């Protein structure tokens, strides 16, 4: 049986019934609490004669964030009926760890804030439950593999659009979303930068994932028969030179994701079409690998960020990165001033990206003598190598604020420091 501990997440309640045992005659209220804890259901009933201490500790453990009402003290021994997944047991047999005394006056209230534990400092859950991670694409997509790298044993949830992956987290259907933001060959995935700004999720981690592309077609198809290659636009861009070198006389067509391209060929029995996708997609959709490793550079890497509803608490005991987005103020050299706030503090910038400022894309500057200048306005996305727990990062941002009309911290999260292996066959 699973042991509850102070490090376990608060259980969610399914039932809470309270009734006087015998109105006004006995000093106890009988309270039944049933709570769902992962796949198991625990229930504890406070019967007549239950020792108060037993009741308090079992209730404290099972209901650590809900306080229940009990009328008076007294009693002793027995009386606790507990069941785990419907099997009756004594509360002493439950492997429970008391978390302390509950106050004398119990009140049924809404869940209280949970004390921070060491697990809150980690982007990955430490409890036994499977983390649900939303990604765009179908099984076999690189985003699914990136989700598995970030959260081994997670339950990957396919979504047809990136927007849907964001919403899945916002609506608590998923715990995390995994989002590709840039590739070493194809560059930034601009739409995803825009989504980061449009939604309120927090970046809680990153993974750099070696992307190893294959050319896939139906079994028996030879490359001479092909007149079309379909894939995600990033994958097409990453294989542009190699496709030409292979001597293929094909049109290129963009689809939503790489594995979806493979699935489409299989589902429609397309003999003249190949997909650029992973070897795993070939296995899943019964395609053959016509060419392996067709990315234009063997060290082809896509960087993914992991998103959650809540930020993680930044630390200083391992390398952290922080991502911000800002719009600089009008005035001379505002962008230079913003960036120098980092340079003066020896903070390295690892990335800068500009996107149109959608709320105010153009600023007109009239000069009666020479006419009207039209300046494009931008949102700047900057990643820097420091944790928001560091004073130098906090001071840098305080200074940045002076030169910006808008500033948001997208997240402060551990850097992916996994050793480099470009030959990984994903
Ligand atoms: O289509 C997929 O398989 C994806 O996971 C998307 C995506 C991307 O958006 O860049 C991810 C990694 C590769 O760079 C190619 C495509």
Question: Of ligand 1's atoms, which has the minimum distance to the CA of residue 256?
Answer: 1
Rounded distance between C-alpha atoms, residue 334 and residue 7, angstroms = 47
- Ligand 1 centroid–CA 423 distance in Å is 17
Give the pLDDT confidence of 357-403 residue by residue, as tens digits. 878 877 777 888 888 888 788 999 999 999 999 999 999 999 999 99
Query: What DSSP state is assigned to residue 225?
Result: G
Question: Of ligand 1's atoms, which has the minimum distance to the CA of residue 235?
Answer: 15
Q: Which of 42, 209, 304, 342 is catalytic?
A: 304
Greatest CA span in the chain, whole angstroms?
A: 95
Rounded distance between C-alpha atoms, residue 223 and residue 226, angstroms = 5
Give the pLDDT confidence of 180-226 residue by residue, as tens digits. 999 999 999 999 999 999 999 999 999 999 999 999 999 999 999 99
Domains of the chain: 12-93 (no CATH), 119-210 (3.40.190.10), 214-294 (3.40.190.10), 314-414 (3.30.70.260)
Give the pLDDT confidence of 328-358 residue by residue, as tens digits. 887 778 899 999 999 999 999 999 999 998 7
Q: What is the pLDDT of residue 245?
A: 93
Rounded distance between C-alpha atoms, residue 217 and residue 238, angstroms = 19
pLDDT above 60 for 326: yes
Question: Of ligand 1's atoms, which has the minimum distance to the CA of residue 258?
Answer: 1
Calculate what percentage of the chain has a pLDDT beyond 90: 61
Strands 155-159 and 132-136, how do they pair? parallel
- Ligand 1 centroid–CA 234 distance in Å is 6
- Tokens read off for 308: 């959650």
143 touches ligand 1 (CB under 6 Å):
yes
391 belongs to the catalytic site: no
Comparing CA positions, the residue from 222, 408, 215, 247 lying closest to residue 327 is: 408
Give the pLDDT confidence of 265-309 residue by residue, as tens digits. 999 999 999 999 999 999 999 999 999 999 999 999 999 999 999
Mean pLDDT in residue range 121-138: 73
Tell me if ipTM is over 0.90. yes
Residue at token pair 């987005």: 325
Alpha carbon separation from 73 to 56, 69, 70, 232, 317 (Å, rounded): 11, 12, 8, 67, 48
Comparing CA positions, the residue from 99, 91, 83 lying closest to residue 5 is: 99
Rounded distance between C-alpha atoms, residue 406 and residue 356, angstroms = 14
Calculate what percentage of the chain has a pLDDT beyond 70: 69
Report the 3 state secondary structure along 11-50: CEEEEEEEEECCCCCCCCEEEEEEEEECCEEEEEEECCCC
**Helix axes 334-343 and 391-402, enclosed angle (nearest 10):** 170
13: which strand partners? 35
Mean pLDDT in residue range 22-37: 35
398: Cβ contacts below 8 Å, ≥ 6 apart: none
22 belongs to the catalytic site: no
Rounded distance between C-alpha atoms, residue 72 and residue 26, angstroms = 9
- Residue pair 138/267 in contact by the 8 Å Cβ criterion: no
- Ligand 1 centroid–CA 178 distance in Å is 11
Chain Cα centroid distance, residue 246: 38
Residue of minimum CA distance from atom 3 in ligand 1: 141
**Category of 220 on φ-ψ map: left (φ > 0), alpha (ψ -120 to 50) or beta:** left
148 touches ligand 1 (CB under 6 Å):
no
Q: What is the pLDDT of residue 385?
A: 98
pLDDT above 50 for 8: no
302 touches ligand 1 (CB under 6 Å):
yes
What does the angle CA 245 – CA 232 – CA 174 come to, to the nearest 5 degrees?
150
pLDDT-based confidence at residue 142 (cuts at 50, 70, 90) = very high
Q: Which of 242, 273, 302, 322 is catalytic?
A: 302
**Category of 286 on φ-ψ map: left (φ > 0), alpha (ψ -120 to 50) or beta:** left
Q: Is the torsion defined by CA of 250, 256, 262, 266 positive or negative?
A: negative
């Amino acid at each position: 049986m699973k042991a509850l501990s102070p490090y376990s997440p608060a259980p969610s309640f399914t039932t809470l019934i309270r009734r006087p045992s015998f109105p006004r005659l006995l000093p106890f209220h009988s309270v039944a609490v049933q709570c769902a804890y992962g796949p198991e259901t625990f229930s504890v009933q406070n019967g007549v004669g239950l020792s108060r201490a037993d009741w308090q500790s079992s209730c404290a453990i099972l209901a650590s964030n809900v306080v229940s009402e009990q009328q008076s003290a007294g009693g002793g021994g027995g009386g606790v009926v507990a069941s785990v997944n419907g099997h009756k047991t004594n509360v002493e047999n439950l492997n429970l760890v008391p978390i302390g005394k509950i106050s004398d006056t119990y009140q049924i209230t809404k869940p209280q804030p949970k004390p921070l534990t060491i697990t809150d400092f980690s982007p990955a859950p430490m409890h036994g439950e499977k983390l649900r991670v939303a990604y765009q694409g179908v099984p076999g997509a690189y985003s699914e593999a990136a989700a598995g790298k970030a959260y081994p044993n997670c339950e990957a949830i396919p979504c047809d659009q990136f927007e849907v992956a964001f919403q899945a987290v916002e609506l608590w259907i998923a715990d995390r979303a995994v989002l590709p933001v840039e590739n070493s060959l194809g560059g930034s995935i601009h739409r995803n930068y825009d989504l980061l700004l449009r939604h309120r999720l927090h970046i809680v981690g990153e993974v750099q994932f070696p992307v190893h592309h294959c050319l896939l077609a139906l079994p028996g198809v030879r490359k001479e028969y092909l007149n079309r290659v379909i894939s995600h636009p990033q994958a097409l861009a990453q294989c542009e030179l190699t496709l030409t070198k292979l001597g293929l006389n094909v049109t290129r067509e963009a689809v939503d994701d790489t594995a979806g391209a493979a699935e489409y060929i299989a589902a429609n029995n397309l003999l003249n079409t190949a997909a650029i996708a992973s070897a795993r997609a070939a296995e899943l959709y019964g395609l053959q690998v016509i060419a392996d490793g067709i990315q234009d550079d063997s060290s082809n890497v896509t960087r993914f960020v992991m998103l959650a509803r809540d930020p993680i608490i930044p630390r200083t005991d391992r390398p952290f990165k922080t991502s911000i987005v800002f719009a600089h103020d009008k005035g001379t050299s505002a962008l230079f001033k913003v960036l120098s706030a980092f340079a003066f503090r020896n903070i390295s910038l690892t990335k800068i990206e500009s996107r149109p400022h959608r709320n105010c894309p153009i600023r007109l500057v009239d000069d009666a003598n020479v006419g009207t200048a039209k300046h494009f306005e931008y949102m700047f996305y900057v990643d820097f190598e420091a944790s928001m727990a560091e004073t130098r990062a906090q001071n840098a941002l305080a200074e940045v604020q002076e030169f910006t009309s808008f500033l948001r911290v997208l997240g402060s999260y551990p850097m992916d420091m996994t050793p480099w292996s470009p030959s990984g066959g994903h």
